[in-house]
């Protein structure tokens, strides 16, 4: 399975973009106002992970549009369209210059609406990045802030799962109980699972969660006790996503 993480390729933390001039400021105002108006009447029902890939080698093009892209992402987060945003300033793959890679989940009524939203982003409009969407089901467990604080901050990995065959009910119960233990201890967070069975055509992934660990070896050690792993019911892949940034807009 291809990477489920979102490599948005957006320079959200650039501090050298303050003097882009009146032209960009005007463009920012016009674009974000129009972009915000398009989002107001949407009915949100499904979650999608979005995989972005660099489509440019032009650093100036990224810098010139970073303020617009940052504002568009912020507006999407504020209206609940985007949630659980992570950033990776030390990406090991698909890295472009010093720009951080961004991971987030997008909400939309269907794939057509998801495409409409993403096509409205300046990085897509101007050929800075391309994207692929993947359904990830419903958000089951968010982020246990108290447990994570007590455990200590770490980087995060996203674990993307494929179930090889339908497990027995007792094993599913055991899996869920173990996931709750890991969540209660702050070792995993932001668990997405298709509880309602709405993604019937999805053969890309069954469930997704984020593992709080500084190394891949540590993340694998956290996952290893899960019944689905011990009984070879499901397989998974790990991808680094960096640091948690924004959760859900309450």
Q: Is residue 115 over pLDDT 60? A: yes
DSSP H or E run through 78: helix 59-78
User: Tens digits of per-residue pLDDT, 116-174?
Assistant: 999 999 999 999 999 988 888 889 999 999 999 999 989 999 998 888 778 888 998 99
CB 101 within 8 A of CB 8: yes
> What mean pLDDT, rounded, does the chain reach?
82
Q: Which of 146, 5, 151 is nearest to 84 (CA)?
A: 5
pLDDT of residue 195: 52
pLDDT of residue 136: 85
Phi-psi region of 168 (alpha: psi -120 to 50; beta: other; left: phi over 0): beta
Take residue 51 and report the two structure tokens written for it: 């995989």
Whole-number Å distance between alpha carbons of 174 and 161: 17
Region of poorest pLDDT, from 2-6, 89-93, 143-147: 2-6
Q: Is 220 exposed, middle or buried (0-12, 13-18, 19+ CB in 10 A)?
A: middle
Give the pLDDT band of residue 10 (cuts 50, 70, 90). Answer: very low
Region of poorest pLDDT, from 9-13, 123-127, 176-180, 204-208: 9-13
Q: Does this chain's domain 22-135 share its CATH topology with 138-246?
A: yes
Q: Which of 137, 135, 119 is nearest to 127 (CA)?
A: 119
As a CATH number, domain 138-246 is 3.30.70.1060
User: Tens digits of per-residue pLDDT, 217-250?
Assistant: 999 999 999 999 999 988 898 989 999 999 998 7
Q: Is residue 87 over pLDDT 80? A: yes
Sequence-distant (≥ 6) Cβ neighbours of residue 143 within 8 angstroms: 84, 189, 190, 244, 247
Determine the 3-state secondary structure of 165 from DSSP: coil
| Domain coordinates in residue numbering, the chain | 22-135, 138-246
Which CATH number does the domain 22-135 belong to among 3.30.70.1060, 3.60.20.10, 3.40.50.970, 3.40.50.720? 3.30.70.1060
Determine the 3-state secondary structure of 171 from DSSP: helix
Give the pLDDT band of residue 84 (cuts 50, 70, 90). Answer: very high
User: Tens digits of per-residue pLDDT, 31-54?
Assistant: 545 555 554 455 657 899 888 889
């Amino acid at each position: 399975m291809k990477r489920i993480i979102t490599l948005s390729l957006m320079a959200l933390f650039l501090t050298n973009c303050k003097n882009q001039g009146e032209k960009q400021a005007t463009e920012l105002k016009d674009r974000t106002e129009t972009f915000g108006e398009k989002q107001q009447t949407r009915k949100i029902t499904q979650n999608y992970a979005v995989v972005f890939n660099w489509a440019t080698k032009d650093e100036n093009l990224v810098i010139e549009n970073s303020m617009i892209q940052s504002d568009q992402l912020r507006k999407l987060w504020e209206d609940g369209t985007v949630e659980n945003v992570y950033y990776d300033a030390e990406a090991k793959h698909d890295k472009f210059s010093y720009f951080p890679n961004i991971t987030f989940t997008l909400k939309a009524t269907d794939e057509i609406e998801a495409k409409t939203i993403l096509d409205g982003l300046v990085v897509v409009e101007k050929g800075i990045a391309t994207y692929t969407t993947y359904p990830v089901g419903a958000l089951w467990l968010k982020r246990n802030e108290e447990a994570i604080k007590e455990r200590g901050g770490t980087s995060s990995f996203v674990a993307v799962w494929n179930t090889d065959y339908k497990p027995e009910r007792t094993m599913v119960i055991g899996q869920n109980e173990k996931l709750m233990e890991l969540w209660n201890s702050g070792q995993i967070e932001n668990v997405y699972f298709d509880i309602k069975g709405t993604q019937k055509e999805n053969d890309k992934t069954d469930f997704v969660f984020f593992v709080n660990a500084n190394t891949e070896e540590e993340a694998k050690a956290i996952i290893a006790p899960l019944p689905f792993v011990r009984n070879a019911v499901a397989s998974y892949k790990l991808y680094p996503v960096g640091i948690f940034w924004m959760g859900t807009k309450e």
